[in-house]
Structure 1
Amino acid sequence: MTWALAIPKASLENPAARHVLLCLANYAGSDGRGAFPSAGTLSLDTGLSERTVRLKLDELSVGGWIVEGNQAIAAAYIDRRDRRPVVYDLQLKRGASTAPRAEPGAGNRTGCSSQQSGVQENAERGAAAAPNTSINHSTHSLREPFEMFLEWAPDQQQLKAYAARAGLTLQQFTVDAISGFVLHHDAKGLARTEKQWLAALVNWVRTDLARAARSTATRSGAPQGSSFDDEDTTWLDERDSE
């Protein structure tokens, strides 16, 4: 991320810490959040040892350059808890103002790999195809399709109505469940209306609950149910329209 290149050297004098920050920024989204390369990946990018990388990450955290972010992001990609790297958010206000990304053909001036969170991509996260993350869900018309974005949050009154129609309660829509849903759909590039996203979220939570029930049933020898289908809205017709 080019904002890191504009940080005055006097503000971050340690060259090793600065190099780690530059490479870490290369894995973050356009808003500076959600970077989770492993220490091994940063070691390859910087040429520093993994131990040094960890020490510099600690220094950057103490200095207020980075903070721990939403750890559910790494959990969405890596099943094993013991293999998940820490998810970091870069403190853009701590450094220079956000600068635009390099234009095509300008090359990578950070000296870091072009991978995103350890996965090679054809287009960087936050490219033109991504939705405007500064848009709050409440600014969308209920009939205006939009792509899912990380800051999306369901309207609680509408969610309550949809949940009740599906036989669920708001308490079953936990932060982890909603985060998992958003992360799953953020990378897909699907455009849906607010109501369609709410319906898909309800299906997501219903499936999570069904999966938990199947796990219990499997241990007791009972038959298993069906898999997740975010297009299934038959439950909407099971009760009278409001």
Structure 2
Amino acid sequence: MTWALSRRDLGKDSSARHVLLCLASYAGTDGRGAFPSAKTLTEDTGLSERTVRSKLDLLEEKGLIVRGNQALAAVYIDRHDRRPVVYDLQIKRGAVAAPRNERGATDDTGCNVRQNGVQSTTERGAAIAPNPSLNHQVTEEQQPRELQDVIADQDRQALESQDDLQRFAMFAEWNPPVDKVSAQLTLAGLTLEALTEEALKSFLGFFVARPKVFDSNGGWCFRLAKWLKSEKAKAAAEAELDETKSNWAQKGVRL
């Protein structure tokens, strides 16, 4: 909050400063993870939603805020179309120390006794300072969801958004399109009989563990056919080696 008050980048734009102050009240101690909705900021500032959005764009242009980890909002808010933008405040650009009390220090170190930047006692005529933790309360719909629910949503969205050209990371529920995988198997000199459940699980397990690999449905079918052909070649080589060992053993030769 002190950092937001100290900014001189905004000149006489009191509306932008007001939005920045309210946004700062939702951020963590390091300035990260603020994601109040535009409606919430409208209620906090008394400005119109259009003005709030305009000032957020201005703050972003001036480098006072940047877009942060959007996954934070996904954990708290289920519906994708209702998730606000997550912002990080650029407090490392410079922070101002808390003001000193000119009337004198109150402890042995020469500093005023404060808790979280808020005075612990009130002077004559001063109102009781609010509890800063109240700024970070969330609504019922923002309660954290189970991690498996987030993963399930990602799998569902991947299934719903598949098309022939879209590239995606492999996921456990993927089923290769019959027409595409049949064509690739034919080109590889294989038949659909080569695509066993065990072989498919092995392929999925290998690429699910590599989330940075993206491909289209057709591309994954090509990779699958290549995988099956390679596995068939390995199996044939192992069988040939076993047969060779058996023949030498029958001749009394130890390998």
TM-score range, shorter chain: 0.3 to 0.5
Tell which structure's C-alpha radius of gyration is larger.
2
Determine which structure has the larger helix proportion and give its number.
Answer: 2
Q: TM-score, normalised by structure 1?
A: 0.45
